[in-house]
Structure 1
Amino acid sequence: MSESTEATNLTELIQTMEQMERDAPRVSVDDIVNAVGRRSFGPLLLIAGLITLAPIIGDIPGMPTLMAALVLLVSTQLLAGRKTFWLPKWLLNRSVSRKGFDKAIHALKKPAQWIDNLLGVRLKWMTGYAGIRATALACLLVALAMPPMEFIPFSANGAGLALTLFGLGLVARDGLVLSLGFLITTATFVAILMYLL
């Protein structure tokens, strides 16, 4: 499949995923990565966040950890300066049912239009070289914390929300949304520390 034009908002990203091949009974990580493009850090983060947040898919045991592996690999490669992202076969072959995937995508359509109306090009310096590296570092920390979060009530939702905001901020070039992502990341880690102490 050829590289698609990179989405500039949530609605376009959902449309990209809707246009994927519909014959197969399951949707793999490879299908999604091919649809959004292997150079697309923002969309990959956004998808990982949305999948972690989605009740239909994100509640599958091990799914937050799988998304953490995706974010960890992509963030590390971005920090290392790679232009395209390599992902291992075992991760690319992981899949969910087409029915569950389509149901989650359909549920996101209405909120996506509302969210897109809130986005704009703000605090543009945060979406430049240094801002993207700082975001990648924050995502790396979130990804490392996600596997144990599966055992702490609601903490994976905080991680999913942070990744979603980071992805949205990068896709829409919205530094204000990136700032919210950093705020949610900090709040999630503070909540986990308070829970553990």
Structure 2
Amino acid sequence: MSATPHESDPHDEASAPRSLEELLAAIEAIEAPSGKVHFEEILEAVGWRSFGPLLLLAGVVTLMPVISGIPGVPLLMACFTLLVCAQLLMRRRTFWLPAWLRRRWISRSALHKGLGYLHRPARGVDRLFHRRLAVLTGPRGVQASALACLLVAMSMPPMELIPFSANVAGLTLSLFGLALMVRDGLLALIAFMLAGSSLTLVGTALL
């Protein structure tokens, strides 16, 4: 069965998380009677048409201690980021993801345990950032962020062989996502610098 693209929903942007704490709360609120939380359910909770929260989601999943250690998770997040960023750069009005990616799942208990590690730092992070340097989070800034994240996603598969490098990639995606959510250009600038460091780290290790 082929996956169908998600149509643009005018309510997505309005209801999308506007902070890291809101993102964590949206994921935790997912009902999972079977004990399994499918990736598509997480995307529905976060907002399919909200680029910032989707990037933040990929970064947070890659950073979570309990979840990022599961074999294949960095690769899964790389595929997700690559598809979303590529489609944004092509200026598609809808995001398409294959069924095999949307149907992946994680146990609700493992998910909540991983999220539990992030609540305290999330509160501190959300207090630090606000709107500034708008040019870096405007239309051209979003395109530049998508290109940078696409390059980071392409470098993530070999990162599974380099200790802690996947965490750097996760932090980079998280910063880009948060910067676009709160329109903080200074945070976007830091994310660009971290993306450059991440790509340099992988390139150096592979040469």
Assess same fold via TM > 0.5. yes
The equivalences for 1:173-192 within 5 A come to 173-192=183-202
Unaligned runs of 5+ in 2: 1-8
Q: Answer whether contact 2:64 2:115 (CA < 8 A) is retained.
A: no
Q: Answer whether contact 2:155 2:202 (CA < 8 A) is retained.
A: no
The equivalent residue for 1:20 is 30
Q: Distance in 1 between matches of 2:146 and 2:34?
A: 33
What secondary structure is seen at the aligned counterpart in 2 of 1:52?
Answer: helix
| Aligned with 2:67 (options 30, 53, 57) | 57
| Aligned with 1:135 (options 125, 128, 145) | 145
Q: Distance in 2 between matches of 1:21 and 1:83?
A: 29
The equivalent residue for 1:96 is 106
Q: CA deviation at 1:83?
A: 2.6
Aligned length: 196
Q: If the length of structure 2 is used for normalisation, what is the TM-score?
A: 0.90
What secondary structure is seen at the aligned counterpart in 2 of 1:21?
Answer: coil
Q: CA deviation at 1:82?
A: 1.7
Per-residue CA distance 1:101-157 (angstroms, 9 max, x = gap):
011122211111110001110111111110000000011101111111111121111
Matched-pair identity in %:
48
Q: Which amino acid aligns with 2:76?
A: L
Q: If the length of structure 1 is used for normalisation, what is the TM-score?
A: 0.95
Unaligned runs of 5+ in 1: none
What value does the CA root-mean-square deviation take over the aligned residues?
Answer: 1.4
Q: CA deviation at 1:195?
A: 2.6
1:151 has 2:161 as partner:
yes
